[in-house]
Structure 1
Amino acid sequence: MAAVNVSLQVLPVVSEEDIYPVVDSVIDYIARTGVKYEVGPMETTMEGELDELLDIVKAAQQICIEKGASRVVSVVKIDYKAEGVTMNEKIGKYRK
Protein backbone atom coordinates (compact mmCIF):
# COMPACT_ATOMS: atom_id res chain seq x y z
CA MET A 1 0.00 0.00 0.00
CA ALA A 2 1.19 3.51 -0.76
CA ALA A 3 2.05 6.02 1.94
CA VAL A 4 -0.72 8.14 3.41
CA ASN A 5 -0.75 11.06 5.84
CA VAL A 6 -2.60 10.92 9.13
CA SER A 7 -2.77 13.95 11.39
CA LEU A 8 -3.61 13.48 15.05
CA GLN A 9 -4.59 16.03 17.66
CA VAL A 10 -5.18 14.63 21.14
CA LEU A 11 -7.09 16.69 23.68
CA PRO A 12 -6.74 14.88 27.00
CA VAL A 13 -9.08 15.89 29.79
CA VAL A 14 -6.52 16.62 32.51
CA SER A 15 -5.59 19.63 34.62
CA GLU A 16 -4.12 22.58 32.72
CA GLU A 17 -0.58 21.92 33.96
CA ASP A 18 -0.74 18.28 32.80
CA ILE A 19 -1.81 18.88 29.20
CA TYR A 20 1.67 19.28 27.68
CA PRO A 21 3.23 16.36 29.57
CA VAL A 22 0.44 14.04 28.39
CA VAL A 23 0.69 15.25 24.79
CA ASP A 24 4.49 14.93 24.99
CA SER A 25 4.04 11.29 25.99
CA VAL A 26 2.02 10.67 22.84
CA ILE A 27 4.62 12.41 20.67
CA ASP A 28 7.40 10.39 22.33
CA TYR A 29 5.50 7.22 21.48
CA ILE A 30 5.07 8.30 17.85
CA ALA A 31 8.81 8.98 17.64
CA ARG A 32 9.61 5.51 18.99
CA THR A 33 7.45 3.82 16.33
CA GLY A 34 9.88 4.91 13.63
CA VAL A 35 7.26 6.41 11.32
CA LYS A 36 8.00 9.69 9.60
CA TYR A 37 6.26 12.49 11.49
CA GLU A 38 6.21 16.25 12.02
CA VAL A 39 4.96 18.04 15.10
CA GLY A 40 2.92 21.17 14.47
CA PRO A 41 1.44 23.67 16.90
CA MET A 42 -2.00 22.03 16.75
CA GLU A 43 -1.41 18.44 15.61
CA THR A 44 1.19 15.87 14.67
CA THR A 45 1.22 14.56 11.10
CA MET A 46 2.53 11.10 10.32
CA GLU A 47 3.39 9.41 7.04
CA GLY A 48 3.26 5.70 6.41
CA GLU A 49 0.97 2.72 5.94
CA LEU A 50 -2.64 3.44 6.90
CA ASP A 51 -3.08 0.42 9.17
CA GLU A 52 0.11 1.19 11.11
CA LEU A 53 -0.84 4.85 11.53
CA LEU A 54 -4.33 3.97 12.73
CA ASP A 55 -2.80 1.60 15.28
CA ILE A 56 -0.72 4.54 16.51
CA VAL A 57 -3.89 6.65 16.80
CA LYS A 58 -5.50 3.91 18.91
CA ALA A 59 -2.43 3.61 21.13
CA ALA A 60 -2.39 7.39 21.64
CA GLN A 61 -5.80 7.21 23.29
CA GLN A 62 -4.61 4.61 25.77
CA ILE A 63 -1.44 6.57 26.53
CA CYS A 64 -3.54 9.59 27.49
CA ILE A 65 -5.69 7.48 29.82
CA GLU A 66 -2.60 5.86 31.38
CA LYS A 67 -1.20 9.35 32.00
CA GLY A 68 -4.29 10.37 33.95
CA ALA A 69 -6.80 11.68 31.42
CA SER A 70 -10.39 10.95 32.38
CA ARG A 71 -11.37 11.35 28.75
CA VAL A 72 -9.65 11.93 25.42
CA VAL A 73 -11.06 13.84 22.48
CA SER A 74 -9.05 13.31 19.31
CA VAL A 75 -9.17 14.89 15.88
CA VAL A 76 -7.89 12.64 13.11
CA LYS A 77 -7.39 13.66 9.48
CA ILE A 78 -6.45 11.18 6.75
CA ASP A 79 -5.07 12.17 3.35
CA TYR A 80 -5.23 9.14 1.07
CA LYS A 81 -4.78 8.60 -2.63
CA ALA A 82 -4.12 5.33 -4.42
CA GLU A 83 -0.65 6.28 -5.63
CA GLY A 84 0.37 7.63 -2.23
CA VAL A 85 0.85 11.05 -0.73
CA THR A 86 3.78 12.56 1.15
CA MET A 87 4.17 15.46 3.51
CA ASN A 88 6.98 16.78 1.35
CA GLU A 89 4.82 17.09 -1.76
CA LYS A 90 2.40 19.24 0.22
CA ILE A 91 4.74 21.47 2.22
CA GLY A 92 8.24 20.89 0.87
CA LYS A 93 8.28 24.26 -0.89
CA TYR A 94 7.73 26.02 2.46
CA ARG A 95 10.67 24.40 4.23
CA LYS A 96 13.85 26.39 4.57
Structure 2
Amino acid sequence: MANALLSIQIIPKVKNEELYSFVDAAIAVIEAANVKYEVHPMETTMEGELSELLEIVQVMNEKMTEMGAPGVISQVKISYRPEGISMNELTEKYR
Protein backbone atom coordinates (compact mmCIF):
# COMPACT_ATOMS: atom_id res chain seq x y z
CA MET A 1 0.00 0.00 0.00
CA ALA A 2 1.11 3.54 -0.73
CA ASN A 3 2.41 5.60 2.16
CA ALA A 4 1.81 9.07 0.70
CA LEU A 5 -0.53 11.29 -1.25
CA LEU A 6 1.08 14.22 -3.02
CA SER A 7 -0.86 16.98 -4.73
CA ILE A 8 0.95 19.32 -7.07
CA GLN A 9 0.04 22.46 -8.91
CA ILE A 10 2.85 23.20 -11.36
CA ILE A 11 3.07 26.70 -12.78
CA PRO A 12 5.67 27.17 -15.52
CA LYS A 13 6.59 30.79 -16.12
CA VAL A 14 5.39 30.97 -19.74
CA LYS A 15 2.86 32.94 -21.78
CA ASN A 16 -0.75 32.01 -21.04
CA GLU A 17 -1.31 30.58 -24.53
CA GLU A 18 1.57 28.12 -23.97
CA LEU A 19 0.48 27.02 -20.50
CA TYR A 20 -1.71 24.06 -21.46
CA SER A 21 0.99 22.34 -23.52
CA PHE A 22 3.30 22.58 -20.50
CA VAL A 23 0.65 21.24 -18.13
CA ASP A 24 -0.04 18.35 -20.53
CA ALA A 25 3.68 17.54 -20.56
CA ALA A 26 3.80 17.60 -16.74
CA ILE A 27 0.86 15.17 -16.57
CA ALA A 28 2.61 12.97 -19.15
CA VAL A 29 5.56 12.71 -16.72
CA ILE A 30 3.16 11.39 -14.08
CA GLU A 31 1.61 8.93 -16.56
CA ALA A 32 5.05 7.64 -17.50
CA ALA A 33 5.88 7.05 -13.83
CA ASN A 34 2.99 4.58 -13.64
CA VAL A 35 1.58 5.77 -10.29
CA LYS A 36 -2.08 6.17 -9.44
CA TYR A 37 -3.18 9.77 -10.01
CA GLU A 38 -6.21 11.99 -10.50
CA VAL A 39 -6.30 15.30 -12.37
CA HIS A 40 -8.43 17.99 -10.74
CA PRO A 41 -9.14 21.55 -11.90
CA MET A 42 -6.53 23.15 -9.63
CA GLU A 43 -4.01 20.35 -9.02
CA THR A 44 -3.13 16.73 -9.67
CA THR A 45 -2.93 14.19 -6.86
CA MET A 46 -0.64 11.16 -6.94
CA GLU A 47 -0.59 8.10 -4.68
CA GLY A 48 2.57 6.11 -3.99
CA GLU A 49 5.75 5.91 -1.97
CA LEU A 50 6.87 9.34 -0.80
CA SER A 51 10.40 9.05 -2.22
CA GLU A 52 9.04 8.03 -5.64
CA LEU A 53 6.50 10.87 -5.70
CA LEU A 54 9.17 13.44 -4.84
CA GLU A 55 11.31 12.13 -7.71
CA ILE A 56 8.34 12.62 -10.06
CA VAL A 57 8.05 16.25 -8.89
CA GLN A 58 11.73 16.76 -9.70
CA VAL A 59 11.31 15.26 -13.19
CA MET A 60 8.23 17.43 -13.80
CA ASN A 61 10.16 20.58 -12.95
CA GLU A 62 13.09 19.55 -15.13
CA LYS A 63 10.69 18.83 -18.02
CA MET A 64 9.27 22.35 -17.80
CA THR A 65 12.69 23.96 -18.12
CA GLU A 66 13.69 21.55 -20.91
CA MET A 67 10.60 22.79 -22.79
CA GLY A 68 11.79 26.37 -22.45
CA ALA A 69 10.20 27.69 -19.27
CA PRO A 70 12.72 30.02 -17.62
CA GLY A 71 11.35 29.08 -14.20
CA VAL A 72 8.72 26.96 -12.46
CA ILE A 73 6.65 27.29 -9.30
CA SER A 74 5.48 24.00 -7.78
CA GLN A 75 2.95 24.10 -4.99
CA VAL A 76 3.04 20.72 -3.26
CA LYS A 77 0.90 19.21 -0.50
CA ILE A 78 1.86 15.89 1.08
CA SER A 79 -0.08 13.54 3.31
CA TYR A 80 2.26 10.87 4.70
CA ARG A 81 1.18 7.84 6.71
CA PRO A 82 3.78 5.03 7.06
CA GLU A 83 1.09 2.40 7.66
CA GLY A 84 -0.62 3.30 4.37
CA ILE A 85 -2.94 5.83 2.79
CA SER A 86 -5.12 6.04 -0.32
CA MET A 87 -7.16 8.62 -2.19
CA ASN A 88 -10.21 6.35 -2.05
CA GLU A 89 -9.99 6.03 1.71
CA LEU A 90 -10.16 9.81 2.11
CA THR A 91 -12.84 10.52 -0.51
CA GLU A 92 -15.09 7.45 -0.70
CA LYS A 93 -17.92 9.03 1.29
CA TYR A 94 -18.15 11.79 -1.36
CA ARG A 95 -18.48 9.43 -4.32
**What TM-score, normalized by structure 2, do the two folds share?**
0.93
**Runs of 5+ consecutive residues of structure 2 not aligned to the other structure:** none
Residue in 2 that maps onto 1:10: 10
Which residue is 1:75 aligned to? 75
Q: In 2, Cα distance between the equivalents of 1:73 and 1:87? A: 24
Q: Unaligned regions of 5+ residues in structure 1, if any?
A: none
The count of corresponding residues between Structure 1 and Structure 2 is 95
Residues 47/2 of structure 1: CA separation in 2 closer, same or farther (3 Å cut)? closer
Deviation >6 Å, runs of 4+? none
CA-to-aligned-CA distance 1:61-90 (integer Å, 9 cap, x gap): 011111111110010111012211110011
TM-score by structure 1 length? 0.93
Q: Please say if 1:35 is aligned against 2:5.
A: no
Structural RMSD (CA):
1.3
What CA distance in whole angstroms lies between the structure 1 residues aligned with 2:64 and 2:19?
A: 10
Quote the Cα distance in structure 2 between the aligned partners of 1:81 and 1:3.
5
* Letter aligned with residue 49 of structure 1: E
| Helix, strand or coil at the partner of 2:68 | coil
Q: Distance in 1 between matches of 2:19 and 2:3?
A: 30
**CA deviation map 1:8-62 (0-9, x unaligned):** 1100000111111001101011011110000011111000011100000001101
- Matched residues in 1 for 2:7 and 2:55: separation? 13
